Chain A
Amino acid sequence: MSQVLDTPPPTATESAETPAQLAARYGLSVSGARPSLPEYVRQLWARRHFISAFATAKLTSQYAQAKLGQVWQVMTPLLNAAVYYFIFGVLLHTKKGVPDYIPFLVTGVFIWTFTSSSILTGTRAISGNLGLVRALHFPRAALPISFCLQQLQQLLFSMAALLVILLFFGVPVAASWLLAIPALILQFTFNAGVSMIMARLGAKTPDIAQLMPFVLRTWMYISGVMWSIDKLTDQQSGLPSWVAPVLKANPAAVYIDLMRFALIDSFHASQLPPHVWVVATGWALLAGVGGFIYFWKAEETYGRG
């Protein structure tokens, strides 16, 4: 028994039909083709439990080996805020002229962290999970969305800490606190959209992940996380007058200011940019829908090559 076949198979003798015709006759489909957009949405919806379970699993495994365990979920953001308070509040005196500076700062830091870590983990969502992408079939958008959901869960822990801080510093409980919910939904949509864009870029060019921390840090400093943009750009700063409205319309600043407006009594509507809810919704829709379509366009290429 030494004959060796180059050309297959004794099984292909059936007829003169080409493989493609045979496939068509039995209704076989091409493996690994990209589904249509509605079909993709349907598949993604069918995996919603995976998305949430994956996010929760990532979140809990983060501190699984620490002695204090899940206490770090609250400790980490608080320590972060404490460091920023020390540097910007105490050393640099940014707090001058900002009422309720600590709630102002902590809200800014937490809301900013939500966006920045969503985008950062989103950038690595595909390139950092190639094993998963190469082993299992699921709509790939599940990964960046899941990472954003993990950050949202993380933020909810932070918000619990934030509420304690607010009460401690005597910020009155108000009905406007409920505005935090739509603000968070809009911000989450925006984050997920940008994450999907970055996930596609990062999957193609992993080098982008090295660049993102610098981009994000620059973005943080121009978004008024630790200071009020109004104070930064007032008369004596010498900056042209268009700078403040532009800075305030950037999505990070919009979501931060919305949350401050919702939670902090002394942060007035006059400090918000005009049509703030329209702007916030616009950013969310633009990034969310655009990012989703952009990500879907390359669905069949992830984890390959």
Chain B
Amino acid sequence: MANPNSDERIPTVICDGVDIVYRVNGTGAGRGSATAALNRMLRRKTAEKAAGVRRVHAVKNVSFTAYKGEAIGLIGTNGSGKSTLLKAVAGLLPVENGAIYTDGQPSLLGVNAALMGDLTGEKNVYLGGLAMGMSREEIKERYQEIVDFSGINDKGDFITLPMRTYSSGMGARLRFSIAAAKDHDVLLIDEALATGDASFRKRSEKRIRELRQHAGTVFLVSHSNASIRDTCERALWLERGVLRMDGPTEEVLEAYEEFTEGGSKPKRANPKKPKPQKQEPAAAEAPLSS
């Protein structure tokens, strides 16, 4: 896991005791009864709990340092805070305690939200590229590359059709192609490899490796242990928001696989549990998607 091409390891992302807490409005006692809603408005901060705001402690006291040239896999069962942590690293979620320091602006690989189904694939390439902060010229330059990579035009001229007419696989391929067109300093990938058919998957894994060479650091969230093994040399294992393990991919995956397969009691997805004992064996069922 040491950086292969330099003696001094340059940190690109530093997480220092990070806690992330979600506040969810309108659960339980809240909405529904007008008096409760009124209460919520009048007593805002003092009565957060009474007003039915639930606090979900998604990430608990996580610290790590990522270095230039590393590819780091984030693993853990569903709902253990992997995506939340990525969003915080990207600066899209606030931290409750601690701090996250980054080199430049880390970006999440994903433009789904910026694309519009009623527009043609071609227009979406431009829209998505602009949303990621590319200039028109850059997009023009890479346009053909993006379309070829997505393979949308393999079976005919589909790029000029509205995106809503695409099959889900085609849509996912185009979205990945657009997102992967830009080079990033710190790249955060959330389950992106799970899209498309076998040949596209191979191409996208190759593209991720290329991106890694350009990018300082890559984070990959995936439930596919195989793709973590292929792409990452270091892995972080999050369980119920706690960082359980940090080390070389092989070791961490071994422990993780033992954990997911050995469990007999179903995992309780109960986020309001205040403080899980860190040393508890926490039996869990294998996640469906792995």
Contacts and interface: CB of A to CB of B under 8 A. Distances in A.
A305 B278 contact: no
B200 interface: no
Contacts of A29: 101-103
Given A1-B254, A137-B92, A8 B246 contact: yes
B91 A137 contact: yes
Interface residues of B, number: 65
Given A19-B65, A136-B114, A304 B93 contact: yes
Interface in B1-29: 1, 9-17, 22-23
Contact of B130 (A7, A53, A58): A53
A239 to B, nearest CB: 35
Contacts, number: 171
Interface stretch (A60-68, A101-109, A247-255): A60-68
A10 B16 contact: no
A132 B110 CA distance: 10
Interface residues of A, number: 52
B243 interface: yes
Which secondary structure dominates where chain B touches chain A?
mixed
B22 to A, nearest CB: 7
A218 to B, nearest CB: 22
A237 interface: no
B94 A132 contact: no
Contact of B92 (A2, A30, A33, A134): A134
A8 to B, nearest CB: 5
A241 interface: no
B49 interface: no
A115 B2 CA distance: 58
A57 B243 contact: no
B99 interface: yes
A26 B103 contact: yes
Interface stretch (A42-50, A83-91, A285-293): A42-50
Given A10-B246, A28-B11, A135-B113, A50 B65 contact: no
A18 B17 CA distance: 11
20 contacts: A4-B245, A5-B246, A11-B1, A20-B16, A26-B103, A28-B11, A29-B103, A30-B100, A30-B102, A31-B88, A32-B90, A32-B91, A32-B93, A50-B133, A53-B127, A54-B114, A129-B113, A132-B114, A136-B110, A304-B94
Interface of B: 1, 9-17, 22-23, 62-65, 67, 87-94, 99-103, 105-108, 110-114, 116-119, 123, 126-127, 130-133, 135-136, 162, 242-247, 251, 254-255, 258, 278-279
Interface of A: 1-12, 14, 18-20, 22-23, 26-33, 46-47, 49-50, 53-54, 57-58, 60-61, 64-65, 129, 131-138, 300-301, 303-305
**9 nearest interchain CB pairs?**
A32-B91, A23-B101, A61-B118, A19-B16, A64-B118, A9-B246, A131-B113, A28-B101, A50-B130
